Each structure stands twice: as C-alpha cells, then as structure tokens.
Amino acid sequence: MVDVLLIFLLIIFIFIYYVIIPEQIKRRRKYLKQTNFSLDWHNFLEKNIYLYRILPIHLKLELQDYIKVFLAEKQFIGQNGFTITFEVKLTIASQASVLLLGDKENRRNYFPYLKYIYVYPDIVIDNQNPKEKPLILLGLSSVGNKSGYDGVVYLSWNEVTKQSQFPSKGENVILHEFAHQLDQEFGNATGMPRLKNLQDSLIWGEIFAKEYYDHCQAVKKNYPTVIDSYGAINSAEFFAVVTEAFFLNSRLFKAHHPLLYQQLCKYYNLDPISWTVDS
C-alpha cells in the first residue's frame, strides 16, 4: 500500500513539474508580452543601446517582448555599493535578450537556469583561492545548481556602459557572459549550445573544432584576428567571443569565417550583417 501511494505521489509530482508549472510559465509570459512597452523605455534604448538602435523594426518589437519577460523573471543585485536602477536593468536586459531573438522554438528559453545578475560598479574580482593573486574579470557566468535554478552572472557596470552605446572594438561583456549561459545549459561549457538535432551538432562540432584550432594557431603566431584572441583560452570562451563578433562585427566575421558565420546564423536564426542604424 505504501509503495502504491509513493508511486501515486511521484506521478502527481511529475505531472505538476512537467505539465502544470510549464503551462503556468507559458501563460505568465504571454500576459507579460501583452503589457505595454513604455515609450520612455524605447527612447532610452534608442539613445543608449547600440544593438537596439540598429535592429530592424520587426526585431525591435520582438526584443521588447523578450525584455518584458526578462525583467520580470531575473533578479538584479548591486554589489560593492552599486545601486540598481531601472535604467541599469533595462540596459542589461535589452542586450542579453538580443541572444533570444529568432528563437521560434523556444530552445534558448530565457536562460532557464539564470536567476541572479550581480552588478559591480567596476571590475569583478574573483577571490576564490586566497593563496593566489586575485583574478580581475569584466564579467563571470555560472549556471549554478540546475535543480535550484540559481545560475548567476556577474557584470562590471563600468564595462557595460562603455560597450553599450557603440560596438567598442567588437566587445560586449553582456553578450559574452550570456552566451556562456546558453553554452552552459547542460552543465559544463563546451562551446556547443543546445542545437536542434544530432546532425546539426555533428556539423557544428566539425566546423567549430577547425575554426577553434585555426584561431589558436593565429593567436599563437600573433596574427591579427577578427575574433578576439581571448577565445584561444578554451572552446567555451571561443563560443562567447564568436558570438560577440557575430553581432558586432558581422561583415568582417562573415568575410573571414563564412562557415562559422553560417553556423551562428543557423543557431541564432538571425543574419545581423543586414542590420544598420536606418533598418
């Protein structure tokens, strides 16, 4: 009798977790998307966020929906005396949500394991090992414990503001750290985000491995590269800097890495090479 009861309770738990809760989330997000996107928000983004400014109209409207959900679901926490204002939230949410554009099948799912965004006034210091020299970072990302949905992103506001208004040499710490969130969905970052099927994964893996090797060789020989040299550290960092290049330096990126650019187009379901201020 006890075994039957346990099985019954397990079935109920599974039904709630995999049917009821996802349906509630879906309805809440639908409601949020139907709420008003303030003209003041739009004007702020037009003035201060380069990526928003260059988007075609239909993608701006899509991005506005993603922003509304992002703001409702993620928690922003100031560190070292930094005050979180709505403008801070909007600046971060708008650029992070660019990575959600084109996601018709909801595979990127609003960074499902991210809950907290910690914002520092300046550089982020990693002091995990007190015996070693502190590691100075512009940002940091972790999916944390999946079962608790407690993934985190750490950002330097100084870097965010410098990189938000203009392409800033193809660097954007928000795109970089949130690309890690996509890459880390299954736990460890490998440079391969969640793809549609096995065939796509195999093709991605083959192209990505060759491009990563070529990039490492170019960096080793001090050759100039379109992709940030930081990507030579490992395949996870390569995916993050490739994402930055894809959105911020698309013409050069496509010219020098056409196969890799094609893979990014397919994954993000976007082609940013056509985006201009007059879109």
Report the C-alpha gap between 240 and 236 in whole angstroms: 7
CA angle, 265 as apex, 259 and 269 as ends, to 5°? 155
Write out the two tokens for 119.
Answer: 């914002």
Residue 65 makes CB contacts below 8 A (sequence gap 6+) with 32, 33, 37
Q: How many CB atoms lie within 10 A of CB 84?
A: 17
Per-residue pLDDT for the chain (279 aa), expressed as one digit of tens each?
Answer: 667 667 766 666 676 656 666 677 788 888 888 999 999 999 999 999 999 999 999 999 999 999 999 999 999 999 999 999 999 999 999 999 999 999 888 888 899 889 999 999 987 655 555 454 444 455 555 544 333 346 889 999 999 999 999 887 889 999 999 999 999 877 778 899 988 899 999 999 999 999 999 999 999 999 999 999 999 999 999 999 999 999 999 999 999 999 999 999 999 999 999 897 654
Question: Looking at domain 15-274, what is its CATH homologous superfamily?
Answer: Collagenase (Catalytic Domain) (3.40.390.10)
Scanning the structure block, which residue is given the tokens 């703001």?
71
Query: Exposure of 30 by Cβ count < 10 A (0-12 exposed, 13-18 middle, 19+ buried)?
Result: exposed
| pTM for this entry | 0.86
Q: Where are the domains of the chain?
A: 15-274
CA angle, 122 as apex, 116 and 127 as ends, to 5°? 70
CB burial string 102-116: b at 16+ within 10 A, e below: bbeeeebebbbbbbb
Query: Which residues are registered as beta bridge partners of 120?
Result: 156
Write out the two tokens for 126.
Answer: 């990693």
Scanning the structure block, which residue is given the tokens 């208004």?
165
Report the C-alpha gap between 248 and 241 in whole angstroms: 10
